[in-house]
Amino acid sequence: MILILSGIQTSLWFQLLGPFPTPQFWIIVLTYLIIHRRFWMSLIMGYLISIVLTGFTAWPFEFLLASSMVLIGSSQLLKDRIYGSGVNYFMALCGWNVFLFHLCYTFFGMFKEDISFGRVSLFDLSLSPLLSILLAYPVYYLFKFLDRLFKEDEEQQPGKNLQ
């Protein structure tokens, strides 16, 4: 699933819409895994998604992995403090994770490259989370359908995620 969504994000999107900001499909998938799977499963999947995404980007693996771990850590803290099982919670967390990823991308990029704050596109920073929130709605119900189809656990309650 992550290969298909990443392919759409990195190639098909640019063929159809050019440099228009893309929704971060892989963050939507990772957010679903964080909410509905155990902590260790989301860590392993964050690592595997980072490995898969290195084929779709020129960004170094270590920065991609560090960004994934920041997303998993912050989402896990939010999940333990404020937990909701519905689509609204999922959409809000997707928007937060995409925004946080853009911040990580900017700050990690400053270490490796000469990226000044003047080069940060506020248009991308604001539109990409909004597009991801809009696409999170149908993806949520698709994953819920797949969970029912493959008989996965419906919910992972907070406080039981480290077992």
pLDDT in tens, 120-146: 677 777 888 898 899 899 999 999 998
Contacts 24+ apart (CB under 8 A), 15-21: 21/121, 21/123, 21/124, 21/127, 21/128, 21/131
pLDDT at residue 163, rounded to an integer: 44
Number of helices and strands in the chain (H, E): 7, 0
Domain residue limits, the chain: 21-149
If you count them, how many residues does the chain have?
163
* Contact (Cβ atoms closer than 8 angstroms) between residue 61 and residue 54: yes
Q: Which residues 6+ apart lie within 8 Å of 156 measured at CB?
A: 35, 36, 37, 38
Please name which of 38, 101, 40, 39 lies closest in space to residue 65, comparing C-alpha atoms: 101
Integer Rg of the chain from CA: 16
pLDDT at position 162 is 47
Q: What is the pLDDT of residue 55?
A: 82
Identify the sign of the CA torsion 100, 35, 22, 5.
Answer: positive
The whole-number pLDDT of residue 157 equals 46
Predicted local distance difference test score (pLDDT) of residue 59: 80
**Cα–Cα distance, 33 to 42 (Å, whole number):** 6
pLDDT lower than 50: segments of the chain: 157, 159-163
Share of the chain above pLDDT 90, in %: 28
List all residues 6 or more positions away from 58 whose beta carbon is below 8 Å from its beta carbon. Answer: none
This prediction has a pTM of 0.82
Q: What is the predicted pLDDT for the residue at 119?
A: 63
